[in-house]
Chains A and B, each alone.
Chain A
Amino acid sequence: MSEAARVSTPKLQQIEREPYYQPIGDEVALFESAHRRRLPVLLKGPTGCGKTRFVEYMAWRLKRPLVTVACHDDLTTADLVGRYLIVGNETVWVDGPLTAAVRAGAICYLDEIVEARKDTTVVIHPLADARRILAVDKRGELVAAPDPFMLVVSYNPGYQSVLKEIKPSTRQRFVALDFDYPEAAVEAGIVAAEGGVDAETARRLVKLAELTRNLKGAGLDEGASTRLLVHAAQLIADGVAPAIACTAAVARALTDDPDMTGTLDDLVHAVF
């Protein structure tokens, strides 16, 4: 095994096949504009509404490699920017995913940015304003981002913890695109296409989602996401009875509260 092979390098994902993405509004055109104008983009929206899928689709459309980083509260600056590793008796510098994305002119997608620690978030500041540079302090290097490079971050404003709010100085660097669950007919189209079920089943799944979304704030933190509907649809397409599929993939995924579970079961049985 060669020494270099032992040093893992960040993954640049080249998306070859067109991902299925159903546009909801003018987000595709806006994203393309932002890319042309070298502006970073912030995707806001509830969980499972298609943010990640959208970025994959745009990466394919713009023919750029995609680097995705799932943020968490242990994510350090070094995890993003890079660090020295020891190979044999020597130190070898390895770019972090952010640095790799900048060098390659890729789209860098920081998923759930609020989860990252505040001191980590600031490294993206010079990258996300007119300077478009990344400071690699350990190497004393300033990497200027080439034109095609684009920074995309996402967050879910439904989060309720006060400790996890995005700072204005971060937020105001981005063009913000609002995502939400699409209109019923469109959402049913997505569920049918992704889940492999017929139109009527998809329509009922979306109806169920609508009923659970009515309970947001009245016992549920969030209603059922498109993702959950797709899961239920996939189970149904695999031969699971619809009510059982919905109970498992939707009702139980939304809450542990025994009272609420009863209500959700009622709603599932009202639709199926």
Chain B
Amino acid sequence: MTSSTPSSRKLFSDELELRLDEVLFASPSHRSAKNIADGLERLGREQQERVLHWVAVAAQSYAEIGYLVATLAPRALDRLDASGFEAWVLAGLDAYDRQGGQAAMALLRDLDGFCAAREHVPAAARLADVESRLSRFLQGLSGRALALSHGAFAHTDTETVFLPAQLAALPTAADNRRLYKAMAALLWAQTRHGTFGSAALDIEAALARWADRERALRWFATLEAVRLEAVLGAELPGLAAEIAALRGPWPTGLEEAVRRLSRPDAAVSQTLTFLAECMAGEDEPPQLAHAGAIDIEAALRVRAARIAREAETVRRALSTLKGFGGRQGAGEEAPAVNIEGGRVEFSLDGEVAALPPEARAAAQSLLQDLGELPPECLVPAGPGAWQPTQREGDEGGGENALTSHREPHRRYDEWDYRRRAYRRGWCHLFEVDLAPGDADYVAKVSLRNTAAIRQIRRRFEMLRGEDRLLGRQPEGEEVDIDALVEAAGDRASGAEPSARLFCRRIRNERSLAAMFMVDMSGSTKGWVNDAERESLVMLCEALETLGDAYAIYGFSGWTRTRCDIYPVKRFDERYDATVRGRIAAIEAKDYTRMGVAIRHLTQLLEAQPARHKLLVTLSDGRPDDFGDEYRGHYGIEDTRRALQEAHERGVRSYCVTIDRHGADYLPRLYGPARYAVLDDVWKLPLKVADIYRRLAT
């Protein structure tokens, strides 16, 4: 038995201690892992590996939690199955993320409480349990990205819906889960149906009339819940009915409100009128469990920023149209805007102008916020919005300090969308070797995922086995009718008939080279990085089965003068111990300057003889780099350019991301069908192989 393939025998205490020391390295040195290791010795190997894995995961967030998990693991595993154990650790990490170390430790220690909660289906519903389903539900409803997050009370700032971490207002957990849905839907409806005003209606001014602002907001929230339920009912009757069933009959004191506001076409102005009557009295609004609060300040602030951003997007897109703005000087007609059936259309001199999709989306979103397009976005400013002085500012400052004195391996151009030109040799690219990491890492991951890997192998074997029928063979499993006919003809005419009369199935020749570009930016630290590495393990299994040529490179960097590329597996390297060691060594480093990485890897990919070339990016967010320059528009435009260049060279790209806001910018980068957003980082390992299968078959 060699050291690189772990046997399935149990680990002894001293071996466990070594492994624990590795994963708990960051903890105070005076503590020994000896006792913990003794405790783990009685477990089976699979359980031991599971514990070591989760201890490592936990320790990355906070070493103390790692310790606690390791210490309590034997007891926990006595009472919980594998998924229960995982849920227990994750609940602890979740508490750590949300409330800090103390809360996490308390939760983990309360093993009794956790087990009890798992056994008797609890009445409370947890946001963590409904979050991903709910957030997709909102995405379906709204079409524009609406994030979901936990907050002290339910409200929305128009871009994020905040919900309490737990709901127990109703008697059963199922009802409480429905309550989450109702709350989220009503909060979305606030953003969709005018609660925060429009261009014609200044909500802030309307609310400023009352000295007791808090009471006014409470009434406002309650009345809006009445109105919005009815408005929702027009388009989404099922949802409205569910909300109605959940809240039961309206409490007394709201009869008049229901009579006046509960109609499908009621507008927020009607709510405000009625609000004045409520405020004239002394009453407090009745409590509604399903209605969120209204945080006007947050909503207006976020909305104003969005409106500015989107107006700018629309204006820019319009500026590039011929005959409008910069190209032909000022004094042009503003484009005509036609808003019909919820679609926005611009026309110039009677001709409909085609805007890029993100500008159309921005216009749509403006329409949702304002009910019209703000006039400033229709004012031509041309590409001149970019000020030359601004650029000088961007480049100076900290950069000299960061400039490295090493000679780069290559320099790459970068696209500056403001100049509409490349900056020549702007990015300095270094290929940096990864110091080998834990030699057993891959083996450990494989052991933990034995079943999944077996499944992946089977699926990819099936692909590889896709056969092709080869005609005119000297032998084979079927008769080749065409050949037979020809032979018959030949024989009839006295010529020598061919003996190649059979068809044979042969394995399909796959001519595909795949490059995986792995985000090693700082933001991937922790779980994302783990998930990326596990994905690579699964991928390698899949690709080895399939026999496709593939390479893996990590990328990260710090300003344009230090763009680093880390070869993990080159095309000509085998998936061996060295490569496995490098996969283990992938870690979160600095920033995400994507364009240069794409250009470099495209170059490598281009040298491959395969007919089809595929570049797959695993990432957790948008392009970004130190300093403000690459962040935002610039980075996106450069990345887009780099992907276009790749496309022109016959390289097809695809992106897998866990950035929920990815839907905002990914269509612009990759095209509408060439990316996938995963809402759960732990799905990455299984999904990546799956996605590759879809891409490459």
Contacts and interface: CB of A to CB of B under 8 A. Distances in A.
B235 A207 contact: yes
Given A157-B673, A163-B696, A214 B489 contact: no
B141 A262 contact: no
Given A259-B132, A262-B133, A163 B697 contact: yes
B67 interface: no
B506 to A, nearest CB: 13
Contacts of B185: 270
Range of interface residues on chain A? 35 or more
Interface in A142-194: 157-163, 165, 183-185
Contacts of B238: 243, 268-272
A217 B482 contact: no
Contacts of A259: 132-133, 136
A266 interface: yes
A83 interface: yes
B90 interface: no
B337 interface: no
Contact of A267 (B140, B242, B676, B695): B140
Interface string A68-108: 00000010001000011110010100000000000000000
B193 interface: no
Nearest to A260: B136
Given A160-B654, A269-B242, A270-B238, A217 B675 contact: yes
B139 A215 contact: yes
Interface in A222-272: 243, 259-260, 262-263, 266-272
A84 B482 contact: yes
Nearest to A163: B612
B140 A160 contact: no
A211 interface: yes
Interface string A121-144: 000000000000000000000000
B239 A269 contact: yes
B677 interface: yes
A84 B486 contact: yes
A91 B489 contact: yes
A207 B143 CA distance: 12
B140 A211 contact: yes
Contacts of A162: 512, 612-614, 652, 695-696
A158 B488 contact: no
Interface string B238-282: 110010000000000000000000000000000000000000000
B237 A217 contact: no
A153 to B, nearest CB: 19
Given A158-B673, A162-B614, A207-B235, A214 B512 contact: no
A159 B132 CA distance: 26
A84 B236 contact: no
B550 to A, nearest CB: 13
A63 interface: no
Contacts of B486: 84
14 contacts: A74-B468, A86-B481, A86-B485, A160-B674, A161-B696, A161-B697, A162-B612, A211-B140, A211-B141, A214-B142, A218-B136, A259-B136, A267-B137, A270-B239
Given A83-B481, A158-B672, A163-B696, 8 more contacts: A85-B481, A86-B484, A163-B512, A183-B341, A215-B140, A243-B238, A260-B136, A270-B185
